[in-house]
Structure 1
Amino acid sequence: MSCPKCIEGFVLPGEPSGTIEQDFQGAYHASPSSLSASETVTSNASKQRAIIFLTDGFGLPLKNCKIMADNLANRLDCEVWVPDYFDADIQDVPPSCLGRPLVPVDDLRTPDRASKKMSILDWVKFIVFTGIPSLPAFIHSRPSVADKRVTSVIHFPLSCKRFSLIGSKFINLLKEKKQYEKLGIVGYCFGGAATVRFASTDLVDAAVICHPASFPTREAEVIRVPTSWACAEVDIFWPHSKRLQVEAILASKKGKETYTEYEFKDYPGTAHGFAARPNLNLPEVKDAYEQAFEQTVEWFKKTLV
């Protein structure tokens, strides 16, 4: 479900410059600004491709995702969309859950270096003050439900049985109204695990996964698009042993029709959440955050052409 590390982090400086688009299910929409012209590709390419940004458990209320989407739009000269997948048009959902992220922004806590261990007291505080109060939101936005708010009618692979058939939602809306030729997807934490699932479909053309939440390793067996992975040194959700298993699965496809390009980058001194909620006061975390962002930019420049 979650852990104390999932609610740690900092708020990024600055203010978002994009807009909330009600015609696109309340998604945040970031467009490239003229200030980025010296770093970007052609304007024609900006109309042909777009990025879907899947947030961590804080969702749209934490402005970090919007600021990062703005920066991605400028660097890649394309539109970036951040869907509100913690909201939904579901009649039988308690009003207290509608539109609520997994973790309220007020519960954001300051992380330390990767070497800091979680104490028993940390876990007790998390369970009592965050875990139990957030349980309805976790149920309301469990992966099999939240995925439906992002995507269209998908037959997920048999290795992901709980994601068998999904109703019409955000990605189909984008494809229908915007007619992009290429779609990239990047996800962090909760959104990182969802990105793994979407990378196993033909809905997107490339993916970046940053310190994902826990997911069944078998889901990596059916990935069908190029993937780039940004990995924390200490990650209670996705430990190094799991990362090695996934890399081995992708490597085993070399020479086969199912092979897709991939890369893994490890960031020393970091913990789960560093690429989305970094403590910029820690030099190694600040550097890792910036490098992971550059990793994302370069991957999409390479794969969405």
Structure 2
Amino acid sequence: MSCPDCFRGAVLEGEPTGVIAQSLDGAYFASGGASNKRAIIFLTDIFGLPLKNSKILADSFAKHLGCDVWIPDLFAGALPSLIRNRPPVAAARTSSFVKKLQAEKKYERLGAIGYCFGGGVAIHLGATTDLFNSIVLAHPSPPSDAQLKAIKAPTAWACAEDDMAIKQPRLNEIEAFYESRKGKDDFVEYDIKVYKAHGFAARPNFAHPDVKEGFEKAFQQAVNWFNKTIPA
């Protein structure tokens, strides 16, 4: 799912410093050092790999977390299209990529962070596979109740105050669902924070102070979550 805000926003300053790994399906690779204890799979918004924002963010996560960050090509080299590339389709590509990556790198733990469309991919994979040990969702596509129930990995949510994808009543239901499982065997650790307009985490317009603040806080929320749930 996408929305009008997915097609607004700004381009981050700077240039990516990672590389394209042709042997791994053309994924972008930001090195965080020699350790294979953990790595992050970065799932992009609808703009995919061509927009440099995701690559710059991956570089920054690699630096702050001290681990490798990979961005698979959710759209298989084609122009992004929600018609040809629904989250389940992109999720199948991502699953194939992760299995290929793990056969080569053998990371002990994997985290996933998904932005908007990529958040929907992370939700789908979290609900249908055990690929990830920790998940962060930034203004994601909305989950179904069945998906929420099926996700076993600790999950952090960086949501938007004004978001057509997940409106406040639905966000309240999501939080209530997590709360209802506290103290039970199926409880999943979670963290929900609400920032400003949709898109703040991936394509922030720093001319708006509240958007800049949301971007910075959501980035730190993700860093803190991964350090807590899949520590180095």
Normalization by structure 2: what TM-score?
0.95
Code of the aligned partner of 2:171: R
Specify the alignment match of 2:149 in structure 1. 221
- 1:8-87, aligned counterparts within 5 Å? 8-32=8-32, 46-87=35-76
Q: Which string of whole-angstrom CA distances, capped at 9 and with x for unpartnered residues, describes residues 6-34 of structure 1? A: 211100000000001011111000013xx
For residue 254 of structure 1, give the secondary structure of its aligned residue in structure 2.
Answer: coil
The answer to whether the Cα contact below 8 Å between 1:221 and 1:250 also exists between their aligned partners in 2 is: no
Q: Which string of whole-angstrom CA distances, capped at 9 and with x for unpartnered residues, describes residues 228-287 of structure 1? A: 1101110011111111111111121112211111010111xx211110010111111101
Percent identity, aligned pairs only?
A: 49
1:16 and 1:2 mapped to 2: Cα distance? 25
Specify the alignment match of 1:160 in structure 2. none
For residue 199 of structure 2, give the secondary structure of its aligned residue in structure 1.
Answer: coil
Code of the aligned partner of 1:176: A
- 1:200-215, aligned counterparts within 5 Å? 200=127, 201-215=129-143
Code of the aligned partner of 1:239: K
Specify the alignment match of 1:272 in structure 2. 198
Specify the alignment match of 2:218 in structure 1. 292
- 1:111-190, aligned counterparts within 5 Å? 137-151=81-95, 169-190=96-117
Specify the alignment match of 1:154 in structure 2. none
Specify the alignment match of 1:193 in structure 2. 120
Specify the alignment match of 1:254 in structure 2. 182
The answer to whether the Cα contact below 8 Å between 2:2 and 2:117 also exists between their aligned partners in 1 is: no
Q: How many Å apart are 1:189 and its aligned residue?
A: 0.2
Code of the aligned partner of 2:180: S
Q: How many Å apart are 1:198 and its aligned residue?
A: 2.2
- Stretches of 4+ aligned residues off by more than 3 angstroms: none
For residue 159 of structure 2, give the secondary structure of its aligned residue in structure 1.
Answer: strand
1:240 matches 2:219: no
1:148 and 1:237 mapped to 2: Cα distance? 22
2:107 and 2:162 mapped to 1: Cα distance? 37
Code of the aligned partner of 1:205: N
For residue 58 of structure 1, give the secondary structure of its aligned residue in structure 2.
Answer: coil
The count of aligned residue pairs is: 230
2:130 and 2:141 mapped to 1: Cα distance? 22
2:163 and 2:41 mapped to 1: Cα distance? 24
Q: Which runs of 5+ in 2 are unaligned?
A: none
Higher gyration radius (CA): 1
For residue 221 of structure 2, give the secondary structure of its aligned residue in structure 1.
Answer: helix
Code of the aligned partner of 1:227: T
Q: Which string of whole-angstrom CA distances, capped at 9 and with x for unpartnered residues, describes residues 49-74 of structure 1? A: 10000000000011000000000000
Code of the aligned partner of 1:143: P
Code of the aligned partner of 1:290: E
The answer to whether the Cα contact below 8 Å between 1:187 and 1:195 also exists between their aligned partners in 2 is: yes
Q: How many Å apart are 1:184 and its aligned residue?
A: 0.3
Normalization by structure 1: what TM-score?
0.73
Q: How many Å apart are 1:206 and its aligned residue?
A: 0.3
Q: Which string of whole-angstrom CA distances, capped at 9 and with x for unpartnered residues, describes residues 210-233 of structure 1? A: 101233233111110111110111
